[in-house]
A and B are shown apart, each in its own frame.
Chain A
Amino acid sequence: MEDVAEMLSRGFDFSLMDMSTRTMMHQVYASLPPPPTRTAAPLASAAAARAPEDGIDRISRLPVEILRDIVSRLPAKDAARTTALAKRWRRVWHSVPLVLVDAHLLPGRARAARPRRFMDILTAPRGVADAVSRALAAHPGPFRCVYLTGTPMDAHRAEATLWLQLLAAKGIQDLVFVNRATKFALDLELPATLFKCSSLTRLYLGCWKFPGTAALPRVAAFPYLQETRPQFLCIRVQSSSLRCVEVCAGMVPEITVVHASRLERILLWEAWGFGPLNNLISRIKIGHAPKLRILGFLVAGMHQLEIGNTIIKVGTKASPSTTVPSVKMLGVQVKFGARNEARMLPSFLRCFPNVETLYVQSEDPEFKIGHRGPQPGSSGNGKLDLKLWEEAGPIECVQRHIKKLVLREFRGQRCDLDFLKFIAERALKSWRRW
């Protein structure tokens, strides 16, 4: 991916941030989805592609759909400049669905050699916000893809609301909406106007606090949404089009899947819960999700799994109301050395009777931040008696369906090996048949 993250991690305001905010913004920017247009021009090589000296403007004679194809590959600034080329080009950009990556609007990118004046640096964030406003106003829509990532939204609330109104009116499909947080407190509420963007198919949010449901418009719906990647918020999914929910390095106290008939994937990576640092809690409630195939990583001890109306606890028995039979791939993160966490693993596995691929990420029991530290019953030296696994009893997916087990960061401690032994003894019979 082109380094949009690097473009955004500069500027005067960035250097003024405190260490933890800067680290957080670095991570948020580094995990942005790669934008569809790039400023890099690896094929440019102007010397070899010199125009013939005959003064015939060959390119403008090309069919307009080819001109559109060319313009659709340009960053917004370059694309807008083509409207000044000649008559034939005047409306080409306007007839191509807009792709706007705000990082590409940062001043001085057009002529890289131009020395930056001190004032440029001081006014950089304001400059981007202004440029975004003018670009969004200049294009009639539809908006295929817009990245709004370089603006501290608390200082630009009016603009942010205006942008969302334009996005809603001009049919935004793909939106990356990140608040350039200047302090670590994530208390800026997502403008409710966002929920008017009913044409969204993909939504990526970063550094926002979700507004209380009372503040939301009555009919807040994204009927076409297929993929969402929020950060720092509670998620409630009730959608007949959503297919993927992904949380990466986000603080998500709760994910509730109410009714999601097409949801296939819930991807969680460093999805932190809420609460004191040594006891973060995040609720994952799964209601109606008949097509859910991939789920993980569930973190034992932090993620509180709820299926239907049942909270899954140690020893919860498998029954139709406590299982999600459609899940084929499951990821679990666990500290085998911490007895209370390790004991959750059989319970998790019982909820997904048809899992074929199991990812297990073994965590260092001494590592405290993120989820529960060493538990009562943790011996601290990686020991865990095999009895825990014997008590677990039969588990449908282990005995019948698991075909592939991927172990990550195994340290080969006794508790790790006990788990392996448990899986091997039970799954071996079905593996022999393979």
Chain B
Amino acid sequence: MAAPESGDGNNGAARMVTLISSDNTRFEVEAAAASLSQTLQLTILDGGGGGGDGIPLPNVDSATLSKVLEYCIKHAPAAANGGAPNATAVDRAELERFDNEFVNIDQSVLYSLIMAAHNLEIEGLQSLVAKKVADMIKGKSPMEIRRTLGFPDPTPEEQAEMNAHMLEYGWAYE
């Protein structure tokens, strides 16, 4: 059990770090929020990202990064509490409501977000976006899934395979 004031060794004002997106936009954000990313956490612990330096993120564009940081800022306080054992049901419900709204987005944004969460290793976000895609798949036939996820129309071979699959995996279609 960590003492409430143990924190990360900074006193007074929260430490800020700068992140630079692939299109050279600078984002200044609290170190605690950016540290939700396992990848960034190491750099930040080493003292990186402060002052004028900034941490370049060549794989993440500014639109995606601002979305990622929106998530991190919202989740940082709960994460700082070590999974928030003392979080109230209201806090948890509020985070859940935020998460539901957060992934209510266009699929092109969703996929950039999936890749960013993967590259930056933000565990909570990785699981949230995977859950989102899983929920989009649930209860649908392969054809409906293809349509929902924006696959091109199936080739005749693909169509034949889908039909064969239905026979082989009959139990999954009952």
Contact = CB atoms under 8 A, between A and B. Distances in A.
Which residue, B108, B153, B166, has most C-beta atoms of chain A within 10 A?
Answer: B108
B135 A44 contact: yes
Nearest to A39: B138
A54 B131 CA distance: 24
A63 B131 CA distance: 16
A84 B142 contact: yes
Given A74-B137, A112-B139, A81 B169 contact: yes
Given A39-B138, A51-B148, A105-B174, A84 B133 contact: no
B151 A52 contact: no
Q: Which of B133, B158, B161 has the most CB of A within 10 A?
A: B133
B80 interface: no
A388 to B, nearest CB: 40
A37 B118 CA distance: 22
Interface stretch (B12-20, B28-36, B66-74, B109-117): B109-117
A166 to B, nearest CB: 14
Given A46-B148, A49-B105, A57-B151, A138 B169 contact: yes
B170 interface: yes
Contacts of B126: 69
Interface in A49-105: 49-60, 62-63, 66, 69-71, 73-78, 80-86, 105
A42 interface: yes
A69 B151 CA distance: 20
Contact of B139 (A41, A85, A105, A134): A41
Nearest to B162: A84
A75 B138 contact: yes
Contacts of B108: 52, 58
Contact of B174 (A42, A54, A85, A131): A131
B145 interface: yes
A59 B74 CA distance: 27
A110 interface: yes
Nearest to A57: B151
Interface range for A: 35 or more
Contacts of B105: 48-49
A143 to B, nearest CB: 16
A140 to B, nearest CB: 14
Contact of A51 (B134, B137, B150, B170): B150
Contact of A85 (B134, B138, B146): B146
B149 A59 contact: yes
Nearest to A130: B171
Interface in B119-174: 126-127, 130-142, 145-153, 158, 161-162, 165-166, 169-174
B104 interface: yes
Nearest to B142: A84
Contacts of A41: 134-136, 138-139
A81 B142 contact: yes
B151 A60 contact: yes
B81 interface: no
A42 B100 contact: yes
A78 B138 CA distance: 6
A314 B147 CA distance: 72
B39 interface: no
B106 interface: yes
Contacts of B103: 43, 49
A57 B140 CA distance: 17
Given A41-B135, A73-B130, A73-B134, A49 B104 contact: yes
B107 interface: yes
Given A62-B115, A78-B138, A83-B169, A51 B107 contact: yes
Nearest to A46: B148
A48 B115 CA distance: 20
Nearest to B170: A134
A41 B100 CA distance: 11
Contacts of A194: none
Given A49-B107, A110-B174, A130-B171, 5 more contacts: A52-B107, A81-B142, A82-B142, A107-B174, A127-B174
Interface of B: 100, 103-108, 110-111, 114-115, 118, 126-127, 130-142, 145-153, 158, 161-162, 165-166, 169-174
24 contacts: A39-B139, A42-B100, A43-B100, A43-B103, A44-B135, A45-B104, A48-B106, A52-B107, A58-B108, A58-B149, A59-B150, A66-B118, A66-B130, A70-B133, A76-B172, A78-B140, A81-B142, A84-B142, A84-B169, A86-B146, A105-B174, A109-B139, A110-B141, A131-B174
Interface of A: 39-46, 48-60, 62-63, 66, 69-71, 73-78, 80-86, 105, 107-112, 127, 130-131, 134-135, 138
Query: Lowest 9 A-B CB distances belong to which pairs?
Result: A51-B150, A41-B135, A84-B165, A131-B171, A80-B172, A73-B134, A43-B135, A84-B142, A41-B138
